[in-house]
Structure 1
Amino acid sequence: MAHQLEVDSISLQFGNREILSDVYLKCETGKITGLLGRNGTGKSSLMNLIFGNLVPGNKSVRFDGQSIPKAYQHHELLSYLPQYNFIPAHLTLKRVFSDFSLDYAPFEKVFPEFILQQGSKMKQLSGGQRRLVETYILIKAKSEFVMLDEPFSHLSPLMIGSIKKLIRQEQPKKGFLITDHMYHDVLELADDLYVLSDEKVHLIKDINDLERFGYVRSRD
């Protein structure tokens, strides 16, 4: 049975500036939903609203029709990868994988550079390695939906390919909402695609709509 995450009637203002206006978006298990938009259009703000970190004047976040205003309290429903590092720097990889109830062996099989590194602390990793660990952890987390904000940042092309493969492997049992400035990778993955433009979210039915909504130019 497919599960559904819906957000609608979302509006957000910072001072006199309107960031989001009457936004609607839907994500389903078994599907990868892409969210694109120029820098500063409110993609991260929208994800934080869904997660419950931001409280707007008006918001409806529903899981299978049930309103869940503070989704961050329900780890079985939703996991969220923010743009910043969220795992404490002093934790070892062994502790991180234990806290998320994940086996380390499958991780080092996909990423052999981490073999015998369970004792390493997060702060000892490079920026790309740290991002890779956090992204892997949430892709594999035991939640119905996963939001990934810039999951490909600081990753090598080889790492990006492995992460996309992992997302595909988890897709049958989860719903993903992904945004990244490397939009070609999002386009490759997405079953459904939205663009955030002029404070609203638009469902893309044709790739040419990306140009119509000002996200890409023909030379892109």
Structure 2
Amino acid sequence: MTPILSVQGLSVQFGALKAVNDVSFEARQGAITAVIGPNGAGKSSLFNLISGAIRPTAGSVRFDGVDVTAQPPHRLLASGLSRSFQITNLFFDLSVRENLRLAAQFLEQGRGLLRPVQHSSTALRRVDELLEQFDLGGKAGELAGYLSHGEQRRLEIAVSLASRPRMLLLDEPTQGMSHSDTHETEALIRRLSRDHGLTILLVEHDVELVMNLSDHVVVMHQGQKLAEGRPAEVRANAAVQTAYFGEKT
């Protein structure tokens, strides 16, 4: 399968701290790639480098063959790369439908800025599609702040997909979820990849979920790539076991 994302020698340094040090990997088109590692391993910093939230000290990020290193998030979105956030990032005082409409307005490409909302036909069709796809139709008129935590996380993924990206970056999508919500989110991510051909890169703390869900796993430790490969290979890696559980006695 063709790599759609290529990370080469990516590094960032904050003063004397090397948060990410010379990390390279590729994400294949249509596959689910996960980045895992103990707390402080550099996962979030790596994710922010790829998504344009922070600028790298060294290295490059290529998306679909184009160098997008340090491009701001709005330009990455225009290229077809979207992301969600570790902390739920919604307009809590707006309805579910309006959260989706604001994100889907991107599809209008600036057309009809001074016209009434009802004339944004492309955006409104996309909202209806997402409400159905994410089973949020019954909640469309509710304020986002009144949704359960699991529903809010589901809505945030829907918002991230409103622009029809080709690749989605998910930052700890199951954080704070109940056991049942975690399983629902796992099934949702699998459907997005399998049924819709979406390429997904996720940072996740739930190792079991990652092993069940991912096609490829990258393990971070102390800012560097410790290992990568298929889930079974990573699970059996002695260095990965040591990083998570300590030296065997």
TM-score category of the 2 structures, normalised to the smaller one: 0.7 to 0.9
SS in 2 for 1:27: strand
Q: CA deviation at 1:128?
A: 3.3
Q: Give me the whole-angstrom Cα distance separating, in 2, the residues matched to 1:109 and 1:139.
A: 11
Normalising by the residue count of structure 2, what TM-score does the alignment of the two structures yield?
Answer: 0.76
Structure-1 residue corresponding to 2:236: 208
Residues 1:165 and 2:165 aligned together:
no
As a proportion of its length, which structure holds more helix?
Answer: 2
Q: Equivalent residues in 2 for 1:54-69 (5 A)?
A: 54-69=54-69
Residues 1:47 and 2:47 aligned together:
yes
Structure-2 residue corresponding to 1:7: 7
Q: CA deviation at 1:78?
A: 0.9
- Alignment deviations for residues 107-132 of structure 1 (CA, whole Å, 9 cap, x no partner): 46764xx5532222222223333223
CA contact (8 A) 2:130 2:158 kept: no
What do you get for the CA RMSD once the two structures are aligned? 2.6
Q: Give me the whole-angstrom Cα distance separating, in 2, the residues matched to 1:139 and 1:182.
A: 23
Q: CA deviation at 1:31?
A: 0.7
Structure-1 residue corresponding to 2:217: 193
- Alignment deviations for residues 135-183 of structure 1 (CA, whole Å, 9 cap, x no partner): 3433575111111111011223332222222222221422111121111
SS in 2 for 1:82: coil
Q: Give me the whole-angstrom Cα distance separating, in 1, the residues matched to 2:139 and 2:241.
A: 48
Q: Give me the whole-angstrom Cα distance separating, in 2, the residues matched to 1:27 and 1:141.
A: 21
Q: Equivalent residues in 2 for 1:1-220 (5 A)?
A: 2=2, 4-69=4-69, 70=71, 72=73, 73-75=75-77, 76-99=79-102, 100=104, 101=123, 102-104=126-128, 107=131, 111=135, 114=136, 116-138=138-160, 142-172=164-194, 173-201=197-225, 202-204=227-229, 206=233, 207-209=235-237, 211-212=240-241, 214-216=243-245
Q: CA deviation at 1:65?
A: 2.1
Q: Report which stretch shifted further, 182-191 or 198-207.
A: 198-207
Q: CA deviation at 1:106?
A: 6.1
CA contact (8 A) 2:134 2:154 kept: no
Relative to structure 1, the CA distance from residue 74 to residue 13 in structure 2 (aligned partners, 3 Å threshold; closer, same or farther) is closer
CA contact (8 A) 1:71 1:78 kept: no
Normalising by the residue count of structure 1, what TM-score does the alignment of the two structures yield?
Answer: 0.86
Aligned residues: 217
Give ranges in structure 2 of 5+ residues lacking alignment: 105-122
Relative to structure 1, the CA distance from residue 152 to residue 139 in structure 2 (aligned partners, 3 Å threshold; closer, same or farther) is farther
Q: CA deviation at 1:91?
A: 2.0
Considering only CA atoms, is the larger Rg found in Structure 1 or Structure 2? 2
Q: Give me the whole-angstrom Cα distance separating, in 2, the residues matched to 1:158 and 1:93.
A: 22
Q: Give me the whole-angstrom Cα distance separating, in 2, the residues matched to 1:52 and 1:213.
A: 32
Q: Report which stretch shifted further, 202-211 or 7-16.
A: 202-211
Identity of aligned residues (%): 26
Q: Give me the whole-angstrom Cα distance separating, in 2, the residues matched to 1:13 and 1:33.
A: 25
Q: CA deviation at 1:59?
A: 2.9
SS in 1 for 2:244: coil
Q: Give me the whole-angstrom Cα distance separating, in 2, the residues matched to 1:115 and 1:107.
A: 5
Which amino acid in structure 2 is aligned with residue 178 of structure 1?
Answer: L
SS in 1 for 2:139: coil
Q: Report which stretch shifted further, 160-169 or 42-51.
A: 160-169
CA contact (8 A) 2:33 2:216 kept: yes
Which amino acid in structure 2 is aligned with residue 211 of structure 1?
Answer: V
Q: Give me the whole-angstrom Cα distance separating, in 2, the residues matched to 1:163 and 1:141.
A: 20
Q: Give me the whole-angstrom Cα distance separating, in 2, the residues matched to 1:59 and 1:90.
A: 40
SS in 1 for 2:188: helix
CA contact (8 A) 1:28 1:175 kept: yes
Give ranges in structure 1 of 5+ residues lacking alignment: none
